[in-house]
A and B are shown apart, each in its own frame.
Chain A
Amino acid sequence: MRRIISVLMENAPGALSRIVGVFSQRGYNVDSLCVAPTEDQSLSRLTIVTHGDDRVIEQITKQMNKLIDVLKVVDLTEGTHIEREMMLIKVATRNEQERTEVMRNVDIFRAQVLDVDLTNYTIEVTGTTDKLDAFATLMKQTSDIIESSRTGVCGLARGEKALRP
């Protein structure tokens, strides 16, 4: 099953490599990983999308918790949550037909064109992983994808629940 695990950790050198190390060392999957400092600059919040059965996920959270730099770990998928991912995608727009088709989809997906060139558009699209996948598939069908880059998922629990020190 797909899981989103959020980790609150010290914003210290080496902390990230320890977390990533546990995943490779113990053979856990990483589907995506997203990390940045929080509003408190001494802390970083990391979000990992992984998959595995309940036992594997339990071990992952325990092994994360065991790291000295880690303050808290939560499996967001255990409760209701919000998740978002962003993608920048550069697609070929070589003729009028491609341009209109791309723009139509940009509207439907509430995406945004960030850069326009004679032969391509660069688009920003935000949403769930599924939405981004769908948009990319559509782009592949209507035009050519030149390149794309995704941030990986980040997420928060709904309601009053929060991951705080």
Chain B
Amino acid sequence: MVEMMSGAAMVVRALKDVGVKHVFGYPGGAVLDIYDALFAQDDVEHVLVRHEQAAAHMADGYARSTGKTGTVLVTSGPGATNTLTGIATAYMDSIPMVILSGQVASSLIGEDAFQETDMVGCSRPIVKHSFLVKRAVDIPEAIAKAYYIANTGRPGPVVVDLPKDIVNVAEEHPYVFPTEISLRSYNPTLKGHNKQIKKAVSVLLEAKRPVIYVGGGAIAAEAQEELLELAETLQAPVTTTLMGLGVFPGTHKQAIGMLGMHGTFEANKTMHNADCILALGARFDDRVTNNVEKFCPHATIIHVDIDPASISKTVNAHVPVVGSVDKVIKQLMTHLDKIDSKKQQEKLADWWQQVEQWRERKCLSYQTSDTLIKPQQVIEALYKHTNGDAFVSSDVGQHQMFAALYYAFDKPRRWINSGGLGTMGFGLPAAMGVQFAHPGSTSVVVTGDGSIQMNIQELSTCLQYNLPIKIISLNNRALGMVRQWQDMIYKGRHSHSYMESMPDFVKLAEAYGHVGIRVDHPSELDDAMTRCFAEKERLVFMDINIDQSEHVYPMQIKFGAMDDMRLSKTERT
């Protein structure tokens, strides 16, 4: 017997059938029927946010920390448009997400009806795909397809737009959930082409100065174990992009840190001087390459990516391999498993000696002060107090780079940040999504006084759901990253980069029902952190007053090669 139910009930039932546990959303006219259907069941838990942008970031944090698809439910018009920044954020970082948006009734579409926006049109450039569902009976299949597309191949957000008339609770239709999804026009390539694999192997075996450059694609492919085996076999140094942090253990002896604009001296030097770059799920982004004309002149580039369009987009690949990182590494290993790692070590001894010399430069060292708290010092304290094992979500700015550089991530899916779009306001809601996915774990936000105010209203949601998040706010009374550029490029003219009338963040946290701790002096930092992490049940907002004049270094010099860097306010390469 085919079950009969309303379109609204189908939406909720289909979510259950694809295995959704949490939906982040906000109600409104066009989705009231769906909300009514949610009310009647316990299979899918709905989380009521305070702003739809935050719902998207929560679903995103949920997805990044688990690999599962995040789900958003919003009403038409303003509800839908409020999610756009969150959708773009997920799109840029290839995060699987499904956004269910209400739409005005089919008969009103195109008439500029109340709360009508063309959501499929608005979101078109920032989604992997979208559906405008036209009949109630099509709901289960559209939803099943949306989840399938979102989390296969190169993952990404998918919008499902649901006109109000088709989810009407008063009409019942047969519910048929598809047992299998197949799309004739969509077949991602997972295994690398054998010819290309062989070519890659011979380049790797020839290499005298190899480097492995890993990005977020390796996390999406869950390739951490394969990567470790490959790296230890090849004995090559491993550098990680901002999006890839943690997929290779940050404390491993072969790890040379993050590369790119704020990459370490050793990572950028190693890349520039390498004779072979094995790029795994990374996309040669402009924040990595610096001037592409001067990019790594000596290297033969092997580029492994699941998305053919990412290969040779900005930098020409000598050996392109289309496939998912885990599968391709396994294929490479079938040819490499005979390598004796001792011999390989000897072969690369000169190279490692060179790399160690660059490491010796200790590019992350900084001056502490007796009176001012240094941002680097806060991240180091955070690392210590969380045993390097927290989920750290970040906002965007200097604090983000300090966190990326000074917190060594040993596991994937622990570092949650908006790398591609660079969305301020991402951190807090992302950490909330993380906390929903990992209830007993430590979910931290590293943020700045600018970014935290972009989604601060979610402190209210945190209270409602008892999320014991730890907010580490590096308060420099300024839009620090903007200020840094103004110091460096605009002769210190701080045009609109400092904030007057900063709120009292401790009182603000308390007003929302949480714990606030202010830290002004370096000598207080350690105790304050202890107090913060002793609060197991409650959200703690640490408002840490840091040295306002600190810059993030190293920093690549514009138009230069990868290894043209400033190392401090006075030194450059």
Question: Residues of A with Cβ closer than 8 Å to B?
Answer: 9-10, 13-14, 17-18, 21, 25, 55, 58-59, 62-63, 65-66, 68-71, 165
Contacts and interface: CB of A to CB of B under 8 A. Distances in A.
A58 B312 contact: yes
A68 B129 contact: yes
Given A13-B132, A18-B124, A66 B184 contact: no
Contacts of A58: 312
Contacts of B307: 66
Contacts of B121: 17
B503 interface: no
Given A25-B125, A68-B149, A63 B309 contact: yes
Nearest to B186: A68
Interface of B: 120-121, 124-125, 128-130, 132, 149, 183-186, 307-309, 312-313
B125 A59 contact: no
Nearest to B158: A68
Given A21-B125, A68-B186, A14 B120 contact: yes
23 contacts: A9-B185, A10-B185, A13-B132, A14-B120, A14-B130, A17-B121, A18-B124, A21-B125, A55-B312, A58-B312, A59-B309, A59-B313, A63-B309, A65-B308, A65-B309, A66-B308, A68-B129, A68-B183, A68-B185, A68-B186, A70-B185, A71-B185, A165-B184
Given A9-B185, A10-B185, 15 more contacts: A13-B132, A14-B132, A17-B121, A18-B124, A21-B124, A25-B125, A62-B308, A62-B309, A65-B308, A66-B307, A66-B308, A68-B185, A69-B185, A71-B184, A165-B184
Q: Is the interface of A mostly helix, strand, loop or mixed?
A: helix
Contacts of A63: 309
Nearest to A13: B132
A137 B456 CA distance: 65
Contacts of B186: 68
Contacts of B132: 13-14
Nearest to A42: B184
B368 to A, nearest CB: 47
A62 B125 CA distance: 16
Contacts of A21: 124-125
A18 B131 CA distance: 12
A25 B185 CA distance: 22
Contacts of B124: 17-18, 21
A59 B310 CA distance: 9
Contacts of A10: 185
Nearest to A60: B309
| A-B complex: 9 closest residue pairs judged by Cβ atoms | A62-B309, A68-B129, A71-B185, A25-B125, A68-B186, A62-B308, A66-B309, A21-B124, A63-B309
A161 B307 CA distance: 26
A18 B125 CA distance: 8
Nearest to A69: B185
Which one of A17, A68, A71 has the highest number of Cβ atoms from chain B below 10 Å of its Cβ? A68
A62 B314 CA distance: 14
Contacts of B312: 55, 58
